Copies of this chain bind each other. A is one copy, B any other.
Amino acid sequence: MRWARYLVDGKETFGIINGENVIDVLGNPFDGFQQTENTRLLSSTKLLAPVMPRTFYAAGLNYAEHVREAAKKLGRSPDLPQAADIGYRAINSITGPDDPIIVPADATELLQYEGELVVVIGKEARNLNEDNVLDCILGYTIGNDVSERTWQKGDRTMWRGKNTDTFAPMGPWIETEFNLSEAMTSVRVNGQEKITFKTDSWIFGIKEFLIRMSEYCTLYPRDVVWMGTEGKTDNMVHGDVCEIEITGLGVLRNTVQWRGK
């Protein structure tokens, strides 16, 4: 099942994608819902980020090659994480599919994409174990963890380097059926492939993160966990179209719009 989120008369509405159409529901996938008779064309519906999270978790460094590349960029020696220690991002940075990535005029040229799998929590959960850990997941979507590397390196925290408004495009929808073991993540800029990697070639997996997180922290419906990215990332410039595709989850497409250019 694919869940989309959009506005109807200015009001947040969830809908179920059915082929080329979207069926409005009353309610939402987190608290319960009821299908309506209202159907609209998917292609003419402006989708929002498919969920506005309660807490926005991010794995950060979670793929070996990306850890080495990140260390090189920051002029540090690579330091592979020893445990599934989660990090945080800010809600203001989230934007939807096809929305522009709006880059402040004072950003440097080191403005880069990061294609990530996003886990969407559907049920409150604490003290998860191997057997029940996946039960709290509603589904999966795609994230682009846009990063300004100069700020990421120079600031004391990653606040504006990764959390500037529109630096976290997410979407296009939440897919509840997902075959992780066969999934590939691809990043394209202006149609040119920049990197393709096996989505689950990470250091710590979804189960390891959720089990460890839930030993200390209650997970809530609408929480999202961004799982990190692999490899070297390149600069984007004004007008670039960045597409992230994950097998079975669709394509998240956003255009870079640099203020003052």
Q: Which residues of B contact A91 (CB under 8 A)?
A: 54-55, 220
Partner of A90, one of B88, B92, B215: B88
Partner of A155, one of B83, B90, B92: B83
| Contact, CB under 8 Å: A216 / B164 | yes
Most buried by B among A81, A92, A160, A164: A92
Partner of A165, one of B85, B86, B216: B216
A216 to B82, CA, bound (A): 32
Answer yes or no: A206 CB below 8 A from chain B CBs. Answer: no
A82 to B157, CA, bound (A): 11
Answer yes or no: A27 CB below 8 A from chain B CBs. Answer: no
Q: Which residues of B contact A213 (CB under 8 A)?
A: 159
Given contacts A91-B55, A92-B55, contact A85 B217 (CB under 8 A): no
A87 to B91, CA, bound (A): 13
Binary per-residue interface labels of chain A (82-126) against chain B in the complex, 1 for a CB within 8 Å, 0 otherwise: 110111111111000000000010000000000000000000001
Q: Which residues of B contact A83 (CB under 8 A)?
A: 155-156
A81 to B217, CA, bound (A): 29
Given contacts A104-B216, A165-B218, contact A159 B85 (CB under 8 A): yes
A93 to B55, CA, bound (A): 10
Given contacts A164-B216, A217-B165, A218-B92, contact A157 B55 (CB under 8 A): no
Partner of A217, one of B60, B86, B159: B159
A61 to B217, CA, bound (A): 23
CB distance from A129 to the nearest CB of B (A): 16
Answer yes or no: A163 CB below 8 A from chain B CBs. Answer: yes
Given contacts A54-B91, A91-B54, contact A157 B86 (CB under 8 A): yes
A126 to B92, CA, bound (A): 11
Most buried by B among A55, A87, A155, A216: A216
A-B contact pairs, 20 of them (CB 8 A): A55-B92, A60-B156, A61-B156, A82-B156, A83-B155, A83-B156, A85-B155, A85-B159, A86-B157, A87-B159, A88-B88, A88-B159, A92-B217, A92-B219, A92-B220, A93-B217, A159-B213, A159-B216, A160-B216, A164-B217
Lowest 7 A-B CB distances belong to which pairs? A85-B156, A88-B88, A160-B216, A164-B216, A87-B157, A85-B155, A92-B217
